[in-house]
Each structure stands twice: as structure tokens, then as C-alpha cells.
Amino acid sequence: MTVTMHGSPAIGDFDGIDLDMLIRQGFRPVPVSAVRMLTSDVLGIDLHSTEAVAGCTPGSHLEVAVPLPDGPAIRHYSLLAGTAETLRVAVLREHRGRGGSAWLHENLASCTSLLVRGPRDTFGYDGNGPAYFVAGGIGITPLTAMIAAAAAAGRDWHLLYVGRRQESMAFADALVEEYGPERVTIHITEAVGRPDVVSSVEEWASVREEPTTVYTCGPVPLMRTLETGLDEHPSVSVISEDFVDADELPTPARSARPLGGAAPASALGSASGEPKAVGTDEEFVVELGDGSEVDVPADCTIIEALSKAGVRTLSSCKKGTCGTCETVILDGRADHRDSVLSAEEHAAQKTMMICVSRACGKRIALDL
């Protein structure tokens, strides 16, 4: 059932200072055009935005600002295959989460708009060669757009969609109906146990002449099984997107092993790719846009130091994996420790993730 929304906008729930900060950081109100329950725990939301739809790529996600009691929380939701003017997301209610998904489930009926930023694509769908998609639960969301792109391009592809129960798998019936059982395998663990995902990929890839790319999103154990099990495979590469925290849907922690290449550098490695020895960080000074300064001690992140100084910032994962805290560098160089920006973006020194990255040297000026 589709319900058109009327009522007060969600942005009215943010206080003025938070709202100013969110707008300054690139968030904007986008009208909610429809909501519907896709399963008992999954809420489908349509946002009307012609402008943002134009920037969508398969696997991209939106950042959504949620007004929780202790301040704005930023949550990441992958974009489903949508229409020409609609951004479509699906929100799983996390019963043991930190409140973001629960707020959306309980309050969206009174919202006419949401504050969003993006879309942003950190998954890395490339569109070349055979593709094997492996989704676990709500991890199906970014893959639906990739599958639509693969099907439209006539790409050779298959989907293995794993879930506990059929009724909790929001898109199972629609995907089978649209693409057929020869393209889509639904695996219900409650009925038949866990799948051997590595063997499934190997079997499928073994009859392809070109190398296969596996795109996977879902629970971490599922993705790690694929990454480790296929690590030495000569003609299969794996690209994954993590569910980092219980309350955030796919946070874009991209992990990729190119064919014949090395594993990606750790999110906690330094800009040079070498891990930083524990206890060797040094203090430095952050200069803000208004000329004021904040000391960052050796045992403190930039975000922590700013917070102690009363400077508001946005963050979500605080692990350098989601991109929410990305901040423009006005002067100086960053010691990058995130896994969001590419090696080229690290080298360009235009922005940094202030939840994990530090300054090279004694001072850095940031657009805060």
C-alpha cells in the first residue's frame, strides 16, 4: 500500500544551530513523496528530487539526517533502482540499533521532507564482464540498482539473495518475477541452512570465459567468507560494502581486491599505506574558518578535540569508513587514515575524514 505524506517537515525537529550546520555541510530538504511497508521491518521511502537523481550511479547511497535527542545523527541508505524523478531507499528497523532507523519508522508519517546529502558512490560498480551478486538480508538494496544496470546493458550476471525467512526478504518476489529463477537464486537459511557462497561463485565463474566480479553487501561474516575464500582465485575478484554498525544500513566501507592485486590498505594505515605504530601520534593544531584554533592532543581525534571545544561536527561511523565527516582542507596536509577516499583523493589533499585522519606536521586549517 502506498500512502502520500502530509504533515510537518522533519527539518522542524532540528534546533536552529544544528540545522545551520547541516545546511552548511551540504544537507538539503528533499520532499517525501511516498512511504510504504515492504515487510514488517522494512520501510520503503520515496523522495522526489529530479536534480539528485541525475547524479545517481548503481550502488550509490544517500546520507539522511535524523533528529535524535542528543543531536543530529547521520545514517546511510543505499539507493534502490528508482524512477526518473525519485530517490528510493529502504530502511530496516534495527531493534538493537542506536535509534536512527527507529526514528524513521515511527516519525516518517508526519514528515513532508527529509534532510539528505548525496548521492555518493563508494561501492565501485564498473559494468564490465560477468557479475555475480551476493546479497545478505537488507544488503540487497545497493545491488538492486546494479542488477538493473547489468540487465539493461545485457551483462552476464546472477544474484544469490540470502535471507532468514522469505517474508523478511523485501525484494525476493519482485526480483524473481522480473528476471526469472535462472538469474535469481533465493536462499532461505531457516529452511536449508547457510549457503556455500564460495562454491556457488566458483561453479558459476568456472563456465565463463572472462573474469567474474563478485559484488556483495550484507552481514560482515558473509562478505569476509567470500573475500577470504576467493582471495587466491585466478579469475574472480570481490567488491564488498560493509554494514558497519547495527543502526546504519550499508555504510560505504569499500573492500576490493582487483584481479591479481593486493588487498586494500587498512583503514587505520597512514597515507603512505604503512600502519602507524600505536602511541606514536603527535599533537597538532586545527585552525578553523573563523581563525580560532583547537589543540588536538596525541591521544585524541580531531572530532573529539572539536567536540570538547564546543565545535559541532557531523559524524556517523567514527571509523573512517562512511564519509560523513569529510571536511575541506584549507591549508596544510592530512595524514589520511580512512578507507573512503581513493589513493588519488588522498594525494590531492582537498578533503579529509576528521574522525580518524590527522595532520602531517604541527598545523592544519579546515573549513569548519
DSSP 138: G
311 φ, ψ (degrees, to nearest 5):
-95, 125
Q: Which is nearer to ligand FES, 201 or 353 (CB)?
A: 353
Is there a contact between 83 and 48 (Cβ–Cβ < 8 Å)?
no
Burial profile 76-94: b = 16 or more Cβ within 10 angstroms, e = fewer = bbbbbbbeeebbbbbbbbb
Contact call for residue 197 and ligand FES (CB under 6 A): no
Q: Which is nearer to ligand FES, 86 or 251 (CB)?
A: 251
Is there a contact between 11 and 28 (Cβ–Cβ < 8 Å)?
no
Number of chain residues interacting with ligand FES (CB under 6 A):
14
Q: How far is the CB of 358 from ligand FES (least distance, A)?
A: 13
Q: How far is the CB of 229 from ligand FES (least distance, A)?
A: 28
What DSSP letter does each residue of 300-338 carry, written as one string? S-HHHHHHHTT-----SSSSSSS-TTEEEEEEEEEE---
Q: How far is the CB of 328 from ligand FES (least distance, A)?
A: 14
Is there a contact between 211 and 236 (Cβ–Cβ < 8 Å)?
yes
- Residue list 309-328, contact with ligand FES (CB under 6 A): 315-318, 320-325
Q: How far is the CB of 267 from ligand FES (least distance, A)?
A: 9
Cα-Cα-Cα-Cα torsion 293, 298, 301, 302, nearest 10 degrees, comes to 20
SS3 state of residue 206: coil
- Residue list 261-320, contact with ligand FES (CB under 6 A): 315-318, 320
- Residue list 337-356, contact with ligand FES (CB under 6 A): 338, 340, 353, 355
Contact call for residue 249 and ligand FES (CB under 6 A): no
Q: Which is nearer to ligand FES, 65 or 236 (CB)?
A: 65
Q: Which is nearer to ligand FES, 118 or 320 (CB)?
A: 320
Q: How far is the CB of 353 from ligand FES (least distance, A)?
A: 4
Spatial distance between the Cα atoms of 340 and 326, rounded to a whole number of angstroms: 9
Can you say whether the dihedral through the CA atoms of 185, 186, 191, 195 is positive or negative?
A: positive
Q: How far is the CB of 71 from ligand FES (least distance, A)?
A: 14
Is there a contact between 138 and 220 (Cβ–Cβ < 8 Å)?
no
Q: Which is nearer to ligand FES, 271 or 322 (CB)?
A: 322
Q: Which is nearer to ligand FES, 101 or 351 (CB)?
A: 351
Query: Which stretches of the chain bind ligand FES, using CB under 6 A?
Result: 315-318, 320-325, 338, 340, 353, 355
